[in-house]
Structure 1
Amino acid sequence: MCLFLLTCIPVEEIFAQNKPGFIKRFIQKSVSDTTSPGKSSFRIYPTLAYAPETSFEFGFSSLFLFQAKQDSLNRLSEVQAFTFVTLEAQYGIWLDNAIYGDKDKWFILGRTRFQRFPLLYYGIGPETNGKEPALIDANYILLKQRVLRKIIPNLFLGPEVDYQQLYNTKFNQPDGHDVYEPPLGSHGTRNLGLGAALVFDNRHNVLNVRKGLFGEISFLKYNQRLASDYKFYGFNVDVRSSHKTNDRNVLAWQLYGNFMTGDIPFNQLALMGGEMIMRGFYTGRYRDKNMLAFQTEHRWLPFKFSKRIGGTVFAAAAVVAPQVNEFSWKHIRPSGGVGLRYLLFPKKDIFLRLDVGFTKEGPGFYLFTGEAF
């Protein structure tokens, strides 16, 4: 998939078109950051993309940054939104949030998805054939939130809820012949999971961590008594660490694991690939009940010769398996890549990232606000 940025628009300028010199001010404002410390900021980014399964895709990304009570000593909170529509009449709205309360009393972390979008399905397991994927066209809803309360400094505990639904589904076999047995949930599924999360987080800037540690252990249980079609449960482990090597450079790594048991619909299995981890693989290129993944990245933020342009190199490896004791060295899939960075908010140290991930199956392109982890 190819994805690239058209421009960056500060939303406050949209309403000033009747003033002289609007175009000049519009361009200047687009590449400047006049926000004082503690003040909130909002930007909109028109985007254009192309993918074989969607044709051309047009959308808008937006980013809202703020600090509780406009106090610069509080952590930087972020809410990101992305809307899109394609020439194939597909559409969607994505929303991600990491919101810190005053003096970290509360931490609300989650994501929301609504989309009508095709899902490529390559089968389940560590050795699936990638040449003839099935196409599952469906409407998809995801609502996932953790509402966490500070226990001691940097340590949070609280409930987690996860609701996922597929409906209006169509399972299309490749080239009109039956290659795959339709997986669990391929004709539509609805599942509500309840659980808890324990999070350690001493980062100050979620979108660009120059120094800090994030660690999460969470548990979710889905039960037919709680508006779920299937009964299953799972544990999630996510550890991320960032280290400054000098004023501009950062070395970061992440260890991520999903461990699930029960009757799990195909869309809620552990999925390898995507814009966050194992960049270069299509999301769900490999999927199973269990997954372990590791990635590391070196970031130049920015380069010495530029005030705004930076870059990165990254490498990753992951493996999926039906059981934890069936993880195998021969099934480990590697990926790696490079990226460019543009310093969008100098006063808040926020970058746009354009990454290219490479695998044996080809490249993947990603454009987002903030680092992958």
Structure 2
Amino acid sequence: MNLRKGFFLLILTLICFDLPSSAQEEDKQRSWLGRQVNRMFNDTASAGESTLTIYPTAAYAPETGVELGASVLKLFRAKKDSLNRLSELQAFVFGTFNAQYGLWLDNAIYTDKDKWFFLGRARIQRFPMYYYGIGPTAVGDRYAVVDAFNVVFKQRVLRKLANNFFLGPEMDFQNLSSVEFEQPDVAFDLPTGSNGYTNLGLGGALVYDNRHNVMNVRKGLFSEISYLRYLSSLGNSFNYNNINLDVRSYNPVGKRNVLAFQMIGNFQTGNVPFNQLALMGGDMMMRGLYQGRFRDKNMIAIQSEFRMLPFAFHKRLGGSIFAGSAVVGPRPDQLSLSNAQVSGGFGLRYLLFPKKDIYIRLDLGFSKDGANFYIFNGEAF
């Protein structure tokens, strides 16, 4: 069983206690550390005012051992107008006692009246991963441990076409270097990209998005179709194409609860490196499966989640129940239901910013391989 254990250093205190709100003048008199801790307990900012929160994190994973880090979360609305959508900038840095490290950056930025929408992420990390092979029937008790330095930069620059419709260019830069495969007793054939690679994909995305709060959507629809082309003429290690579909629906159930659905389709052709194949599992889709437990050129995945935000008996505690299914294959016509995987689980939520409706989520996901534990800001989708 691949069980990931994680915790925020102050999470038990956050869950167990609700401290009374303090005045902004009193907050200014605290030390810097005191102000950060107070902001984790009390959301004193108005709906339009920006917030910056810094907090420590700690985790344990079989691949890394003990992991220590820190996270920075900035939430804001353009021109401090509460009618504008909530934007987020998030940074997470970590290190381990095994000399592994990483820096993650995520952004979802809306300008005034949604004229522009910037959606992207960056990853710089040296982090081990398990490689189980390629295809829908990869064996679970046989895997290679792949250690490598990885750089990812993906960004969409979207211009508003009409109400809730956005169109614009997209780029995806991927570099994998210093790759080392620690093979199992029965060795794998080394996959495409096992010696490292550098790839730059250029293309575009069409997005429909009527969400008002990307970190916790109460009602709305998000739909994206994108195309990326990776050409050797751009200096790439490999030539291939990627089409991605992502559809999400959020439906209120009563005053507090939300029933959410998501469907993802990832379709690739050409010579795709092993770590840019469609990867099943992780903290966002198919929770309970190790990310990359199954991988191939094509994948279709669906999931649903019932969110209780918050519980009726507590103003800051909530929960969720979720389930999903996915299948990978070398071609779209080989995506067989007989190879579909399922996962599911439940989670707790803590309302970190009441005036911005932002929760910390703690999810426990189960699959045929066992369980995985996840802690993040905002919902999985």
State the TM-score, normalizing by the size of structure 2.
0.93
Equivalent of 1:129, from 134, 139, 143? 139
Paired with 1:163 and 1:212, the residues of 2 have a C-alpha distance of 30
Match of 2:56 in 1: 46
In the TM superposition, 1:42-191 aligns within 5 A as: 42-174=52-184, 177-191=185-199
In the TM superposition, 1:310-325 aligns within 5 A as: 310-325=318-333
Q: 1:67, 1:77 within 8 Å by CA — same for their partners in 2?
A: yes
Distance 1:20 1:231, change over 3 A: closer
Gaps of 5+ in 2: 15-25
**What is the CA deviation profile of residues 137-174 of structure 1, one whole-angstrom value per residue up to 9, with x for unaligned ones?**
00000000000000001000000000000011111102
1:127 to partner: Cα distance: 0.2
Paired with 2:286 and 2:169, the residues of 1 have a C-alpha distance of 28
Paired with 1:217 and 1:25, the residues of 2 have a C-alpha distance of 42
Which amino acid in structure 2 is aligned with residue 200 of structure 1?
A: Y
Match of 1:6 in 2: 9
Q: Does 1:37 align with 2:47?
A: yes
- Aligned CA-pair RMSD: 1.8
Q: Does 1:274 align with 2:277?
A: no
1:23 to partner: Cα distance: 8.2
Paired with 1:20 and 1:81, the residues of 2 have a C-alpha distance of 24
Match of 2:251 in 1: 243
Paired with 1:189 and 1:81, the residues of 2 have a C-alpha distance of 26
Paired with 2:276 and 2:31, the residues of 1 have a C-alpha distance of 51
Distance 1:198 1:324, change over 3 A: same
Distance 1:68 1:127, change over 3 A: same
Q: Does 1:305 align with 2:308?
A: no
Aligned length: 365
Q: 2:39, 2:53 within 8 Å by CA — same for their partners in 1?
A: no
Q: 1:320, 1:327 within 8 Å by CA — same for their partners in 2?
A: yes
Q: 1:157, 1:199 within 8 Å by CA — same for their partners in 2?
A: yes
Paired with 1:17 and 1:39, the residues of 2 have a C-alpha distance of 16
Match of 1:12 in 2: none
**What is the CA deviation profile of residues 179-209 of structure 1, one whole-angstrom value per residue up to 9, with x for unaligned ones?**
2011110111110000000000000000000
Gaps of 5+ in 1: 10-15
Match of 1:201 in 2: 209
Which amino acid in structure 2 is aligned with residue 122 of structure 1?
A: Y
Q: 2:36, 2:55 within 8 Å by CA — same for their partners in 1?
A: no
Q: 1:155, 1:200 within 8 Å by CA — same for their partners in 2?
A: yes
Paired with 1:35 and 1:209, the residues of 2 have a C-alpha distance of 20
**What is the CA deviation profile of residues 42-74 of structure 1, one whole-angstrom value per residue up to 9, with x for unaligned ones?**
112211111111010001122110011111111
Q: 2:246, 2:264 within 8 Å by CA — same for their partners in 1?
A: yes
Higher relative contact order (CA 8 A, sep 6+): 2
1:361 to partner: Cα distance: 0.5
Equivalent of 1:335, from 338, 343, 365? 343
Match of 2:379 in 1: 371
Equivalent of 1:192, from 197, 200, 203? 200
1:24 to partner: Cα distance: 7.3
Match of 1:213 in 2: 221
What secondary structure, in the 3-state scheme, does the structure 2 residue paired with 1:371 have? coil
Paired with 1:152 and 1:352, the residues of 2 have a C-alpha distance of 33
Q: 2:27, 2:35 within 8 Å by CA — same for their partners in 1?
A: no
Which amino acid in structure 2 is aligned with residue 102 of structure 1?
A: D
What secondary structure, in the 3-state scheme, does the structure 1 residue paired with 2:79 have? helix
Q: 1:277, 1:316 within 8 Å by CA — same for their partners in 2?
A: yes
Paired with 1:310 and 1:218, the residues of 2 have a C-alpha distance of 34
**What is the CA deviation profile of residues 218-274 of structure 1, one whole-angstrom value per residue up to 9, with x for unaligned ones?**
000000001210000010000000000111000000000100000000010000000
Q: 2:74, 2:90 within 8 Å by CA — same for their partners in 1?
A: yes
* Matched-pair identity in %: 58
What secondary structure, in the 3-state scheme, does the structure 2 residue paired with 1:236 have? strand
Q: 1:270, 1:287 within 8 Å by CA — same for their partners in 2?
A: yes
1:22 to partner: Cα distance: 8.5
Q: 1:39, 1:66 within 8 Å by CA — same for their partners in 2?
A: yes
What secondary structure, in the 3-state scheme, does the structure 2 residue paired with 1:325 have? helix
Which amino acid in structure 1 is aligned with residue 223 of structure 2?
A: G
